[in-house]
């Protein structure tokens, strides 16, 4: 079983997907704590409804991103967290968090990175006229949505789509992809390999689940 800390800022539908998968005994994990930088985010209500400890840490009350991260690290460690999941978390994290949980911080992003990093990725793809977009789960590094990719799912942009219908369909895939990746992590099937040759980025290998 892996012990998760989930960082949220808003709706928390990805958090809900994790909680539901655990409740269905589909995911061998425990959400030890949910930390929100927005006190009254719906994600906090979702955590409380599931009996998960929640902590609101308002980033605006810290003099630096590093100090904010240090406060989160203290709470995460106090709850025995092993893996940190950014799920709809809208803050850029610093080496203070990344070094404390080295290669154990992942993020879900609503586009096929490296396309459309940053905010409103669904809107970026829609406005660009992309025919295929999707979602990505990746290890977090110091960049903006630039860490090694663990998994992706493609979503076709339909002629009838609006930004809203596309966003909803991507979100459905995010929920499934996030659980798939967390199951692989829980089964110890995810390996982050250092770049082998010049020009190559670190590659993530995800072994297939054992059958039977």
The residues assigned a catalytic role are 109
Nearer to ligand GRF, 165 or 205 (CB): 165
**Which residue number places its CB atom closest to ligand GRF?**
88
Q: How far is the CB of 123 from ligand GRF (least distance, A)?
A: 11
Nearer to ligand GRF, 95 or 118 (CB): 118
Q: 3-class SS at 33?
A: strand
Q: How far is the CB of 155 from ligand GRF (least distance, A)?
A: 11
Nearer to ligand GRF, 74 or 165 (CB): 165
**Token output for 79:** 């709850």
Which secondary-structure segment (H or E) carries 29? strand 29-36
d(CA 98, CA 24): 30
Nearer to ligand GRF, 26 or 45 (CB): 45
Q: 3-class SS at 168?
A: helix
Q: 3-class SS at 39?
A: coil
Q: 3-class SS at 49?
A: helix
Q: How far is the CB of 118 from ligand GRF (least distance, A)?
A: 10
d(CA 58, CA 149): 29
Positions touching ligand GRF (CB under 6 A) are 10-15, 43, 87-88, 108-110, 171, 174
Q: How far is the CB of 8 from ligand GRF (least distance, A)?
A: 6
3-state secondary structure 93-157: CCHHHHHHCCCCEEEEECCCCCCCCCCCHHHHHHHHCCCEEEEEEEECCCCCCCCCEEEEEEEEC
């Amino acid at each position: 079983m892996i012990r998760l800390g989930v960082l949220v800022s808003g709706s928390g539908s990805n958090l809900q997907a994790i909680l539901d998968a655990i409740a269905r005994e589909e995911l061998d994990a425990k959400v030890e704590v949910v930390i929100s930088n927005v006190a009254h985010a719906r994600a906090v209500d979702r955590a409380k409804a599931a009996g998960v400890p929640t902590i609101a840490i308002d980033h605006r009350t810290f003099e630096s991103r590093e100090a904010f991260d240090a406060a989160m690290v203290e709470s995460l460690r106090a709850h025995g967290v092993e893996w940190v999941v950014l799920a709809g978390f809208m803050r850029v994290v610093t080496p203070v968090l990344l070094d404390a949980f080295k290669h154990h911080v992942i993020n879900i992003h609503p586009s096929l990175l490296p396309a459309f990093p940053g905010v409103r990725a669904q809107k970026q793809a829609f406005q660009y006229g992309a025919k295929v977009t999707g979602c990505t789960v990746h290890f977090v590094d110091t960049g903006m949505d630039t860490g090694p990719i663990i998994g992706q799912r493609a979503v076709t942009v339909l002629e009838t789509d609006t930004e809203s219908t596309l966003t909803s369909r991507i979100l459905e895939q995010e929920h499934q992809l996030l659980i798939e990746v967390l199951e692989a992590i829980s089964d110890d099937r995810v390996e982050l390999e250092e770049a082998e040759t010049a020009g190559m980025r670190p590659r993530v290998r995800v072994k297939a689940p054992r059958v039977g």
